[in-house]
Structure formats: C-alpha cells, structure tokens
Amino acid sequence: MTVNTKKKVAFYTLGCKLNFSETSTIARNFKDEGFERVDFSKTADIYVINTCSVTENADKRFKTVVKQAQKANADAFIAAVGCYAQLKPQQLADVNGVDLVLGATEKFKITDYLNDLTKNDFGEVHSCDINEADFYVGSYSIGDRTRAFLKVQDGCDYKCTYCTIPLARGISRSDELENVLKNAKEISEKGIKEIVLTGVNIGDYGKGEFGNKKHEHTFLELVQALDKIEGIERLRISSIEPNLLKNETIDVVSKSRAFVPHFHIPLQSGHNDILKLMKRRYMRELYVDRVAKIKEVMPHACIGVDVIVGFPGETEAHFLETYNFLNTLDISYLHVFTYSERDNTEAANFQDVVPNNIRSKRSKMLRGLSAKMRRAFYEKQIETSRSVLFESENKAGYIHGFTGNYVKVKAPWNPELVNTIHQVKLTNIDDDGLVRFEFKNIMA
C-alpha cells in the first residue's frame, strides 16, 4: 500500500501491559508504511485506540478518548482495535466519530484496511469469530526508554466465571522461544535496561498455535533461556497464576543474574467458597505455599496481589476472611478490583448480587490495607543496599526510580541519571511515601 509520507498517526492504549506491547507493534507497522507517529494530543490523520474490556470503567473511557481525538482533529479517521472491539464491535462502531473497528485477529493488519482515510457515515466492522483467533502475533513495546513490555503469550484456556478475556483474545498460545529471545536481544540493543514479560496467562507459556496444547517449551525454560542473554540488565515477570508459578521457577529467579525479586500473583479471594464460584484453579492453601516459598529463598522479594471485591455471593463474613487472610500473608501491596458484571460471563447470571455501595466500601478497606502493606514493606528495606533503575521523567523537580524489588525511590532531578542503574543504600521514607537513598557506586 502506498501512503503519503506526511500522513500522521496517533495511538491511545487502554488497559494492560499486553495492550501497550501490541500498540507498539502496530505503531511500527504504520512506520513501515510511511506514517509519522505523533502524540495523541496533536493533530493526526488517523487515531488508533487500543481498547480494554476488563473493567466497566475502560468501556466508558473509550468515548472520552474518541472525543479527545475529535477535538484534536474533527476530520481525522478514528479506528478502534483490541479486546472491547472484539467483544462489542457494533457498540464501538455506533460511537459518533468512529470509522473502523477491528477485532482480535484483524488489529495487526490495520494498515490493510486504510486504502482510504475518508470519514465513514457509519463505523465499519471487521471482527472474526473468536475461535479463529488461534495464531500468535509477537510484540513488544519500546515507548519508554527505561523498560519494555515483551509479549510472550496470548489468550487463555481458563474459564474464570467473571472474565471476558478468553472471549476477547481466544485460546492460550505462545511465541516460539527463538523469537522471544530474538525480540529480547532487539530490545537490549536499543539501550533499554529492563524487560517486563507479559501475556494473558504467562505461566501457561509453551502452548502452540491453532489449538495445539502440547508445550514445546515451559515457562521455566523461557526464564532460564532469557537469563542467559547478555545485554539485558533486568528482567521482570508480570502477573502469573499461583498454580503455574512452580518452585523451580522461584529457585531460578532467586539465583538469577537478571530476573528481579518481584512477583505479582493474582489471588482474587481469600475464601475457598468464593474461589470455587470464580472457578479459580487453586485454593487459598496453595497461595500460602507460594508466598512462603518465595520468602524462604528471597526474604526481600516484593509480592503484589490482585483481589476482587463484591463478587456475587461474597458475604460480609467472606470478605472479612479475605481481609484477615491477606493481613496474615507476607506480601507487599494489593491491586484491588471492584467486581463489575460483564456480558456473556457466567457470573453475570449469579444470584446474591452485592450492592454497589457495599462493593465500594470493601474496595476502600482493601486499598487502605494495601497502603499499610506497602509502607511496612518499604520500612523493612531501609538500611539495605539495592540497585535502582532511574526513570526518564522530571516530576516536579524530582527523578524517580525503582529497585529490583519494586521500592519506588526519589532524588532531586538529574538528567544524567536517566536510564542508568546505580547501587544505593535506602535511608528513609519521605512524606509522600517514596524512599530516599544514598549513592554507593555506579553500576551502569
């Protein structure tokens, strides 16, 4: 396809790290076709919005983002791609200003649909049956100088009763090990210091394409292979299911050259009755084992936890048991999700619906608990030596950074620190909850 080299494209990503990695790949496709990428707030010929369906809020935000694009250029061509575009294509197509909606398999071929950027009277939809989303498209994001999100897996074979992701992304499938390693080398050659492994269910890594359930490689083998790649300073595992995080993987991370001591492990509920209603693949006893194993070999490790409040059937007693259970675990912070009904999920038809005001109250309680947990974790790190990777943004005269075990630090702005790793000693917690430090020696 031939396009005017002056055509400009802008991108907006809603949702998860996986979406960010895929937006980056789609953006590189546009660049290959002669487009110039500009910021979403600037005037562009085409605006691409990568949508999310995990929460109700992400659905609502889509309309706001469309209006933002229209404000920047009322005549621009607006395309919606991603999870919400797969689940509710017509709903997106009906939003005023939207010209093109592409589902799960079509989004990576978006430039094929752009022979004419004339505004449409109605949104044009190209969305496959989700059963056809059985092939893998690799991607990684390199928008941020300090870290990249590297997609290694897509889709999910789990049938959690609250979740739309299998409907939006299809079956579990993975990138080939050789291709993951190639992408990781490409990222490291761009001077990016940290790679975050991402996917829908990354612990399920190794399943092939087209419904082939045979694992060519395991997640453990992926971790071992990535750890050997020179040039990558840091590797971080994003969210991984507790039943798929094996002792062997934890042991490898504990002795690793590059993998940092930071795990994010979804729990969703601390009560086994609710876990069964959710059709999670573990009971809370397994979760206790995972946390204990991590802390046994990496006492300083950071552990983040996903929790859903207000799931149908969650009584006050269930919630308090979850609260107390979380309070007994040696964990570092919570990601709290207020349950919202999603169309075409089992839980949408469950009885004993929790009123919204109760959901909000429980969410607030857990967010308060999370703040206490993070503070306690930070306090334990004071007087320890850690390596810090500094970010690229000047925030009100300060530069921020993260230790390997995910402690957020701050120092007066110094552009020479951007995208460098330094050995520091953590000294005290500032009024804003971030940690101050003293430099020890330059590492990179």
pLDDT in tens, 319-334: 999 999 999 999 999 9
Res 42 pLDDT > 50 = yes
Averaged confidence pLDDT in the chain: 91
b or e along 35-49 (b: 16 or more beta carbons within 10 Å of the residue's beta carbon)?
beebebeeebbbbbb
pLDDT mean over 349-365? 97
Helix (H) or strand (E) holding 360: helix 356-381
pLDDT of residue 441: 67
Question: Is 116 in a helix, a strand, or coil?
Answer: coil
Return the higher-pLDDT residue of 184 and 57.
184
Question: Is 204 in a helix, a strand, or coil?
Answer: helix
What dihedral angle (degrees, nearest 10) is formed by the CA atoms of 89, 90, 96, 98? 40
End-to-end CA distance of the chain: 43
Sequence-ordered strand ranges (E) for 23-122? 36-37, 46-51, 77-82, 100-102
The β-bridge relationship of strands 77-82 and 333-338 is: unpaired
What confidence tens digit (pLDDT) does each residue in 15-41 have? 888 888 899 989 988 998 889 999 999
- Confidence bin at 3 (pLDDT 50/70/90): very low
- Confidence bin at 122 (pLDDT 50/70/90): low
pLDDT mean over 304-308? 97
Res 103 pLDDT > 60 = yes
Res 174 pLDDT > 80 = yes
Alpha-carbon distances of 192 from 144, 232, 311, rounded to whole Å: 8, 8, 40
**For residue 330, how many C-alpha atoms fall within 13 Å in the half-sphere facing its CB?**
15
Helix (H) or strand (E) holding 92: helix 89-93
Q: Which residues contact 401 (CB under 8 A, 6 or more apart)?
A: 388, 389, 390, 391, 408, 409, 410, 411, 417
